[in-house]
């Protein structure tokens, strides 16, 4: 049977890459987005129904869920630093918004919901590589909100028999990430605008960088397979990369080898080291990333160069 999927936040970075892939694989796709971090123009010429609305409005969500059997819940307030500035808005969008989506799924007899979580911010400063058995100790409101959402997903799976699955994303990068608040986007924009790259700390902080099409592959695998309700999986590269190495790779890719790097004081709420094991995702889904960081950064730089020749 053709899957009927609602993607919340589907006009944002990940959704813009994911929706065409789902349609290509035969799904009937709707998108619910309030357009604060994405534009419907990102999905122009794509055969998906786009609905403008906020995930915190249960009536809007339930209308969007009409005829839907699967939800991919991407909509979120996705910044560690912004969550520290305004933890209440972060909670309202991430936690209350997710609770509304979960309740609407129950009301609408949705079969499965895939929740987009996070690895590093949720688990905090644990010794990497982290995995599904790592003890969560978030150090930012953003990480705390995602942990709370995971708890609600687990509760709804057990209390209401809603088939929830939590995917903990690595640091995702790639095309259509112009509005994403992340290091790769910031560094590319710095180079294109001829402004210094700003690194908070000495650059030895590490992250797990995953190309967006590898993430989309993992999400699609999950949609297609029946895993036990309340399953949690890390979708990651499994490779630890320092921020300074990422900056230098982007500088090398740009061809502007003398581009300035500035070091600023560390920011609160950001973990010092993080990368994740995707062993469980490989075991139960057959997931393995296929795009190297160098190849992915080249593809991302090329996309920015075509779409933003002048910033």
111: number of Cβ within 10 Å: 14
DSSP the chain: ---EEEEETTTSHHHHHHHHHHHHTT-EEEEEE-SSS--GGGGTT---EEEE--TT-HHHHHHHTTT-SEEEE------HHHHHH-HHHHHIIIIIHHHHHHHHHHHTT--EEEEEEESHHHH-SPPSSB-TTSPP---SHHHHHHHHHHHHHHHHHHHS--EEEEEEE-EEE-TT-TT--SHHHHHHHHHHTT--EEEESSS--EE-EEEHHHHHHHHHHHHHS-PPTTEEEEE-----EEHHHHHHHHHHHHT-TT--EEEE---TT--S---B--HHHHHHH-------HHHHHHHHHHHHHHH-S--
296: nearest Cα among 222, 257, 241: 241
Contact (Cβ atoms closer than 8 angstroms) between residue 91 and residue 141:
yes
138: number of Cβ within 10 Å: 22
Residues assigned a catalytic role: 142
């Amino acid at each position: 049977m053709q899957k009927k999927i609602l993607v919340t936040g589907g006009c944002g970075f990940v959704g813009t890459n994911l929706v065409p892939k789902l349609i290509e694989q035969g799904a009937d796709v709707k998108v619910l987005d309030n357009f604060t971090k994405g534009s419907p123009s990102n999905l122009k010429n794509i055969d998906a129904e786009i609905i403008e609305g906020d995930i915190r409005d249960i009536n809007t969500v339930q209308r969007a869920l009409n005829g839907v059997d699967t939800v991919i819940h991407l909509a979120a307030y996705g910044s560690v630093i912004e969550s520290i500035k305004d933890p209440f808005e972060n909670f309202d969008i991430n936690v209350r918004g997710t609770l509304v989506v979960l309740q609407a799924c129950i009301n609408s007899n949705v079969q499965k919901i895939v929740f987009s979580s996070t690895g590093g911010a949720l688990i905090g400063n644990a010794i990497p590589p982290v995995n599904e058995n790592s003890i969560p100790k978030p150090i930012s409101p953003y990480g705390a909100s995602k942990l709370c959402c995971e708890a609600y997903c687990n509760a709804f799976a057990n209390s209401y028999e809603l088939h929830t699955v939590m995917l903990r994303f690595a640091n995702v990068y790639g095309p259509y990430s112009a509005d994403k608040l992340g290091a790769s986007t910031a560094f590319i924009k710095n180079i294109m605008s001829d402004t210094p790259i700003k690194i908070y700390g000495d650059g030895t902080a590490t992250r797990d960088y995953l190309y967006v099409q590898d993430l989309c592959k993992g999400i699609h695998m999950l949609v297609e397979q029946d895993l036990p309700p309340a399953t949690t999986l890390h979708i990651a590269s499994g490779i630890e990369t320092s921020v300074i190495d990422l900056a230098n790779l982007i500088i090398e890719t740009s061809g502007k080898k003398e581009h300035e790097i500035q070091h600023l004081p560390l920011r609160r709420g950001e973990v010092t080291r993080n990368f994740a094991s995707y062993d469980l995702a490989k075991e139960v889904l057959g997931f393995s990333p296929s795009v190297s960081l160098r190849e992915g950064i080249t593809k991302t730089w090329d996309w920015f160069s075509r779409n933003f020749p002048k910033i």
